[in-house]
Amino acid sequence: MTYPVLYSFRRCPYAMRARLALKVSGIQLVLREVVLADKPAALFACSAKATVPVLVFSDQRVIDESLDIMLWALNQHDPQNWLMTEAGLLAETQRLIAYNDNEFKLHLDHYKYADRFTDKPMEFYRAQGEGFLNELEERLASSSYLLCERPSLADMAILPFIRQFAHVDKSWFEKSPYLRLQSWLATLSNEPLFISVMPKYKKWQEGDPQVMF
């Protein structure tokens, strides 16, 4: 059997959420760990963007957007019903993820790399991102997860970005008033599923043995 190949980077939030969906769906694949400062020629050959994650099939089909990878995997098999097809929450799922991937990601990048954006102090960029933290905190007042009482696509697509925001200054986040969001993040980050997609792999090079995921 020829397995799909996933080009990934352990700490990239986009790659992280793709791995979560692929893992929960039970799809076996070959994982190639990429070092972003030294990307392999094979990655450029299959995707002009050359940004992880990239999923390549044996027939040369390529999916190189993380959310598209998640949706492809879950449409193959969605054992935990992350898509929540019966709940009628598609529009809200799309809205939350779109805000996360656009406005919030911009604030996150400015906050994480504040030394590159010296027009404003780090605290300014953090405050910009807190608008989304506040919205999520309010949502968690009425349910254990972002849309209902169990994890959904919205939770798992947004989780890696909130985790990255929290890790910029963990002391600040732990002392922040976002108590429900802290609990949500800790719960999901300690789930066996999340832990299973976070092992460290050595950088893939042409000719290396296959690493199954």
Residue-level pLDDT at 94: 93
Residue-level pLDDT at 85: 76
Residue-level pLDDT at 86: 74
pLDDT digits (tens, 9 = 90+) for 136-146: 999 999 999 99
Question: Identity (one letter) of the amino acid at 127?
Answer: A
Cα separations in angstroms, 168 against 46, 164, 183 = 32, 7, 18
Residue-level pLDDT at 204: 95
Exposure pattern of 135-152 as b/e (b: 16+ CB <10 Å)? ebbebbeeeebbbeeebb
Residue partners of 5: CB distance under 8 A and separation at least 6: 29, 30, 31, 32, 55, 56
Residue 8, beta-bridge partner list: 33
Q: First and final CA of the chain: distance in angstroms?
A: 14
Helix (H) or strand (E) holding 30: strand 30-33
Residue segments in the chain with a per-residue pLDDT below the cut of 50:
none
Residue-level pLDDT at 1: 59
Residue-level pLDDT at 87: 72
SS3 19: helix
Residue-level pLDDT at 30: 97
Residue-level pLDDT at 17: 98
* Domains within the chain, CATH numbers bracketed: 5-81 (3.40.30.10), 90-191 (1.20.1050.10)
